[in-house]
Structure 1
Amino acid sequence: MTPTPDSLVHELPAGVPSVHLTGRFIAPDGTPLTGTLTFAPPMVLTMPDADTIANTVATVEITKADQGSFEINLIATDAPGMSPRGWTYLVTEKLKGAQIRQYHIMLPERPGGDPVDLADLAPASPYSGRYLPVVGPTGATGAQGLPGEVRRAELEALEERLAPRPVTWSQGSASALWTIDHAFPYLPAVRTYDTSGREIGGLVGCLDPYTVTVQFAFAETGSAILS
């Protein structure tokens, strides 16, 4: 792991138990990732034994020089006398080209001050891709049925209402938040792509039944396919 400059790893005040957290993020081909991580405790932490109050969030930035690695000192979640008790950090990963991810971790104080690696704490994301159907052999042709009374145009209109066709939406100006209006009768699945056609990950949300949003770690241009 590439060491982070000492000036970027803050020492906590005397009497405040801490945990030294480390980690590394890479793409499947080994390319180091860049971006930010935030560690959010409850709104306010009071530590009367150390005459200290902690507020806001801790942020660490991963730059190209870090080769995907980071390290940070954080308040232990089991510090004596702390209020509230039994809390967890909300971790938010915003990495270039990756989907924004959030999860909770606990950081109890380690005997001897041994560092903790985020890879040992972060949950694995379940596979959410699309399965490839296997087509079997073609069966025998059946007898032609009697003509129906419903016209083809009516059938197509009914099919469109029950199973709307995918819609492509474009984002021409770079933005970290895409707001997409749609006419689907349900919340559609959203896949996003950059201008080169490479799929990029974003955090999909819903403003109302006919408006979805996609939040990225960085400003992006490209397109979205809704289905």
Structure 2
Amino acid sequence: MTIPTPDLPPYEMPDGVASVRLTGRFIAPDGRPLTGRVTFAPPSVLTMPGADTIANTAATVEITAADRGRFALTLIATDSEGMSPRGWSYLVTERLAGAEMRQYHIMLPAMPDSGPDASVDLADLAPVSPYTGRYLPVVGPRGATGATGAPGEVSRAELVALEERVAPRPVTWTQSMGSREWLIPHAYPYPPAVRTYDTSGREIGGLVEYPSPASVTVHFASAETGSAILS
């Protein structure tokens, strides 16, 4: 028996799935609007049993010259009821003309007390570590200046080591031999987000598992070669 599917307007969120309207604007230092693509990737498979819904791909916005550097889109709230996994974050990838690619994580909790036209701007969100942080608005009055502390003695190597622990940089792993299972070692202090690509640069999906604190395994339906970006 075939169950009829109701007609839905484009991009309407299913009932029971909380969402957040996200806006943003990208310009060069001289005010010139930038063009390019921004991708917002949840975990590889995001399930919402209470809404009979599965999300298993990224949301992408294309910023053209006509947009004058601006974008707006609606995304699933990271604290929507009954989701699996819980406590996740979006991996944001910026690919803008004339700028280096940038990747970072953000949280988008629902705004139940806001009006229907409320939105959050990307510039007001502080990047977080994947699966652990909460978004933090970077606005508000400036506090009083505190007393100057005693000078410390920190070496350049210690500063670099601290930066690597607090904000590790993305790492690229190359799989040169075809395999249905990619075993990827890493040194992140948390389970990193993983994006996989074939040799032509096309993103491919796989089942990501974390067999140990220092490794990631990606399973594919058939043997694949390419690369993975960990962040």
| TM-score for both structures, normalised by structure 1 | 0.50
- Find the structure with the greater CA-based Rg: 1
- More relative contact order, 1 or 2 (CA 8 Å, 6+ apart): 1
